Structure 1
Amino acid sequence: MVQEYESEAQLENQFMKRLNAVGYKTVVIRDEQALLNHFRDILNHRNIKNLDSKPLTDTEFSQVLNEMVGSRSLYEIAELLRGSDVQPYGKIAIQRDDNSQVYLEFFDGHDWTNNTYEVTHQITINGKYENRYDVTVLINGLPIVQVELKRRGVDFTQAFNQIIRYRNESFRNLFRFIQIFVVSNGGNSRYFANGDGNLNSNFMFYWTDENNNWLNDIDAFTASFFIPSRLHSLVAKYTIFDKANERMLIMRPYQIYAAEAILKQAQEHPEENGYIWHTTGSGKTITSFKASQLLSRETDATKVIFMIDRSDLDLQTAKNFNSYLPKSVSNQPALDRTENTYSLVRQLQSNDSPLIITTIQKLNNAVSGSRYKDVLTPFHDQRVIFIEDEAHRSQFGEMRKNINQWFKNAEHFGFTGTPIFAKNVGADGRTTETLYDKELHKYLIKDAIRDENVLGFSIQYIGTIKGKNIAVDDEKVPGINTKEVYESDERLRLIVQHILLNHDQITSNKKYNSILTVSSTAMALKYYQMFNELDPKHHVNVTTIFTWAANEDDAQEKQEQDVTSSRHGLDKVIDDYNNQYKTSFSTNHFADYFADVSKRMKEHSDRTPDDNIDVLIVVNMFLTGFDSPKLSTLYIDKNLRWQGLIQAFSRTNRIEKKTKPFGNIISYRNIKKETDDAVKLFSAGSQEDFFVPTYDELAGKFADAITNLHQVVSTPNDVDRLYDLGDEELKKFVLSFRDILKTYNKIRVYDDFSWNKVKDNEFTAQDMESYRGKYFDAYHHIQEHTDTKGEKASVLEDIDFQIELLETDKIDVQYIVNLIKTINLDSKDNTDADREKIKRLLDNADSMELKSKADLLAAFLDEVVPQLDPDANVGTALNQYLAKKRNEEIYRFAEETKVSTDELNEQIASYDFYGHTDSQKMTDALSNAGYSFKEKINLKKKIRTFVLNTIDRFTMS
Structure 2
Amino acid sequence: VDGVDVQYRRTDGSIKDDTVKLVDFSNLKNNEFLAVNQFTVKENGINKRTDIVLFVNGLPLVVIELKNPAEEKADKATAYAQMQRYLREISTLFHYNEIIIISDGVKAWAGTISSDIERFMEWKAIDGKVLEELDQFSRDTLILDMLRKEVIIDLVRHFITFEKEKSKSSEKIIKKLAAYHQYYAVLAALKSTIEAASPSGDKRAGIIWHTQGSGKSLTMAFYTGKIVDAMGNPTIVVITDRNDLDDQLFETFCKCSELLRNMPKQAATKQALKEFLKVASGGIVFTTAQKFLAEAGEKFPLLSGRRDIVVIADEAHRSQYDFIDGFARHMRDALPNASFIGFTATPIETNDRSTTAVFGGCKDIYDMKQSVNDGMTVQIYYENRLAKIGLKTERMPKIESDFKEITEAEETETKEKLKTKWARMEKVVGAKKRIRHIAEDIVSHFEQRQAALDGKGLIVCMSRRICIDLHDAIVKLRPEWYSKEHDKGAIKVVITGAAREHMRTKLQRKMIENRIKDPGDELKLVIVRDMWLTGFDVPCLHTIYIDKPMKEHGLMQAIARVNRVFKGKPGGLVVDYIGIIQPLKEATLTYTKSGGGGTPVFQQEDAIKIMREKYEIVSSMFHGFDYNDFATAALSKKETILRDAMNHILRQENGQKRFFKNVAALKRAFALSVPHEEAMKIADELGFFQTLKAYLGKLTGSEPGYSEEDYDIPLRQLVSKAIASDKVIDIFEIAG
TM-score of the pair, normalised by structure 1: 0.60
What per-residue deviation string (whole Å, max 9, x for no partner) do you get for residues 94-132 of structure 1? 566979466544321222221112212112334454422
Instruction: Please name the residue that 1:415 is paired with.
Output: 343
Within the alignment, does 1:118 sit opposite 2:34 as a pair?
yes
Q: Within 5 A, what are the aligned runs for 1:99-178?
A: 100=15, 103=18, 104-127=20-43, 129-152=46-69, 154-172=74-92, 174-178=93-97
What per-residue deviation string (whole Å, max 9, x for no partner) do you get for residues 430-488 of structure 1? 54323312111111112111111011112111133xx5699x86x57546778465443
Q: 1:599 aligns with which of 514, 524, 535?
A: 514
Q: Pick which of 342-351 and 97-106 moved more.
A: 97-106
Instruction: Please name the residue that 1:813 is paired with.
Output: none
Q: Within 5 A, what are the aligned runs for 1:767-786?
A: 767=688, 770-771=691-692, 774=695, 777=698
Distance in 2 between the 1:710 and 1:130 partners?
50
Shift in CA distance, 639/362, structure 1 to aligned 2, threshold 3 Å: closer
Shift in CA distance, 457/208, structure 1 to aligned 2, threshold 3 Å: same
SS at match of 1:205: coil
Which residue type is aligned with residue 309 of structure 1? D
Instruction: Please name the residue that 1:677 is paired with.
Output: 586
Q: 1:661 aligns with which of 570, 576, 582?
A: 570
Instruction: Please name the residue that 2:277 is paired with.
Output: 348
Compute the RMSD of aligned alpha carbons.
4.1
SS at match of 2:214: coil
Distance in 2 between the 1:745 and 1:318 partners?
36
Instruction: Please name the residue that 2:491 is paired with.
Output: 542
Q: Is the 8 Å Cα contact of residues 210 and 216 (structure 2) preserved in structure 1?
A: yes
Within the alignment, does 1:638 sit opposite 2:551 as a pair?
no
Q: Is the 8 Å Cα contact of residues 307 and 386 (structure 1) preserved in structure 2?
A: yes
Within the alignment, does 1:291 sit opposite 2:223 as a pair?
yes
SS at match of 2:575: strand
Shift in CA distance, 712/290, structure 1 to aligned 2, threshold 3 Å: farther
Within the alignment, does 1:758 sit opposite 2:682 as a pair?
yes
Distance in 2 between the 1:113 and 1:531 partners?
65
Instruction: Please name the residue that 2:612 is paired with.
Output: 699
Shift in CA distance, 686/202, structure 1 to aligned 2, threshold 3 Å: same
Which residue type is aligned with residue 358 of structure 1? F
What per-residue deviation string (whole Å, max 9, x for no partner) do you get for residues 873-902 of structure 1? xxxxxxxxxxxxxxxxxxxxxxxxxxxxxx
Instruction: Please name the residue that 2:152 is paired with.
Output: 231
Q: Within 5 A, what are the aligned runs for 1:383-782?
A: 383-392=308-317, 393-394=320-321, 396=323, 398-422=326-350, 431-464=354-387, 467=388, 477-478=396-397, 483=425, 486-508=429-451, 511-538=454-481, 541-548=490-497, 567=498, 570-574=499-503, 585=504, 589=505, 591-603=506-518, 605-606=519-520, 608-609=521-522, 612=523, 614-658=524-568, 660-683=569-592, 684=595, 686-688=597-599, 690-691=601-602, 693-708=606-621, 717=640, 733=656, 736-737=659-660, 739-741=662-664, 743-748=666-671, 749-753=673-677, 757-758=681-682, 763=685, 765=687, 767=688, 770-771=691-692, 774=695, 777=698
Which residue type is aligned with residue 122 of structure 1? Q
Q: Within 5 A, what are the aligned runs for 1:159-198?
A: 159-172=79-92, 174-195=93-114
Distance in 2 between the 1:772 and 1:795 partners?
10
What per-residue deviation string (whole Å, max 9, x for no partner) do you get for residues 390-416 of structure 1? 222246355553332021111100100
Displacement of 1:386 after TM fit? 0.8
Which residue type is aligned with residue 511 of structure 1? D
TM-score of the pair, normalised by structure 2: 0.76
Distance in 1 between the 2:530 and 2:216 partners?
21
Instruction: Please name the residue that 1:802 is paired with.
Output: 710
Distance in 1 between the 2:226 and 2:162 partners?
15
Residue correspondences, number: 643
Shift in CA distance, 413/166, structure 1 to aligned 2, threshold 3 Å: same
Displacement of 1:631 after TM fit? 1.9
Distance in 2 between the 1:718 and 1:469 partners?
46
SS at match of 1:664: strand
Displacement of 1:171 after TM fit? 3.7
SS at match of 2:95: helix
SS at match of 2:516: helix
Distance in 2 between the 1:489 and 1:96 partners?
83
SS at match of 1:694: helix
Displacement of 1:141 after TM fit? 2.6
Q: Is the 8 Å Cα contact of residues 661 and 745 (structure 1) preserved in structure 2?
A: yes
Displacement of 1:383 after TM fit? 3.4
SS at match of 2:561: helix
Which residue type is aligned with residue 557 of structure 2? Q
Which residue type is aligned with residue 471 of structure 2? Y
Distance in 2 between the 1:796 and 1:533 partners?
46
Q: 1:255 aligns with which of 165, 175, 182?
A: 182
Q: Is the 8 Å Cα contact of residues 453 and 713 (structure 2) preserved in structure 1?
A: no
Point out the structure with max Rg over C-alpha: 1
Shift in CA distance, 727/530, structure 1 to aligned 2, threshold 3 Å: closer
Between the two proteins, what is the percent identity of the paired residues?
21
SS at match of 1:380: coil
Instruction: Please name the residue that 1:552 is paired with.
Output: none
Displacement of 1:498 after TM fit? 1.0
Displacement of 1:723 after TM fit? 11
In terms of fraction of residues, the more helix-rich structure is 1
Displacement of 1:710 after TM fit? 7.9
Shift in CA distance, 667/262, structure 1 to aligned 2, threshold 3 Å: same
Q: Is the 8 Å Cα contact of residues 277 and 441 (structure 1) preserved in structure 2?
A: yes
Q: Is the 8 Å Cα contact of residues 327 and 334 (structure 1) preserved in structure 2?
A: no
Shift in CA distance, 672/737, structure 1 to aligned 2, threshold 3 Å: same
Displacement of 1:313 after TM fit? 3.7
Shift in CA distance, 334/719, structure 1 to aligned 2, threshold 3 Å: same
Distance in 1 between the 2:260 and 2:68 partners?
50
Q: Is the 8 Å Cα contact of residues 292 and 355 (structure 1) preserved in structure 2?
A: no
Distance in 1 between the 2:91 and 2:441 partners?
51
Within the alignment, does 1:323 sit opposite 2:255 as a pair?
yes
Distance in 2 between the 1:139 and 1:729 partners?
52
Distance in 1 between the 2:650 and 2:39 partners?
29
Distance in 2 between the 1:547 and 1:433 partners?
34
Q: Pick which of 125-134 and 274-283 moved more.
A: 125-134
Distance in 1 between the 2:91 and 2:626 partners?
40
Which residue type is aligned with residue 334 of structure 1? P
In terms of fraction of residues, the more strand-rich structure is 2
Q: Within 5 A, what are the aligned runs for 1:857-896?
A: none
What per-residue deviation string (whole Å, max 9, x for no partner) do you get for residues 616-673 of structure 1? 2222222112221132211012232221221111111111212x21111111133323
Q: Is the 8 Å Cα contact of residues 292 and 387 (structure 1) preserved in structure 2?
A: no
Instruction: Please name the residue that 1:334 is paired with.
Output: 264
Displacement of 1:300 after TM fit? 5.5
Instruction: Please name the residue that 2:305 is paired with.
Output: 380
Instruction: Please name the residue that 1:63 is paired with.
Output: none
Distance in 2 between the 1:772 and 1:385 partners?
56
Shift in CA distance, 795/696, structure 1 to aligned 2, threshold 3 Å: closer
SS at match of 1:391: coil
Instruction: Please name the residue that 1:240 is paired with.
Output: 161
Higher relative contact order (CA 8 A, sep 6+): 2
Shift in CA distance, 222/125, structure 1 to aligned 2, threshold 3 Å: same
Instruction: Please name the residue that 1:42 is paired with.
Output: none
Which residue type is aligned with residue 495 of structure 2? F
SS at match of 2:252: helix
Distance in 1 between the 2:242 and 2:357 partners?
24
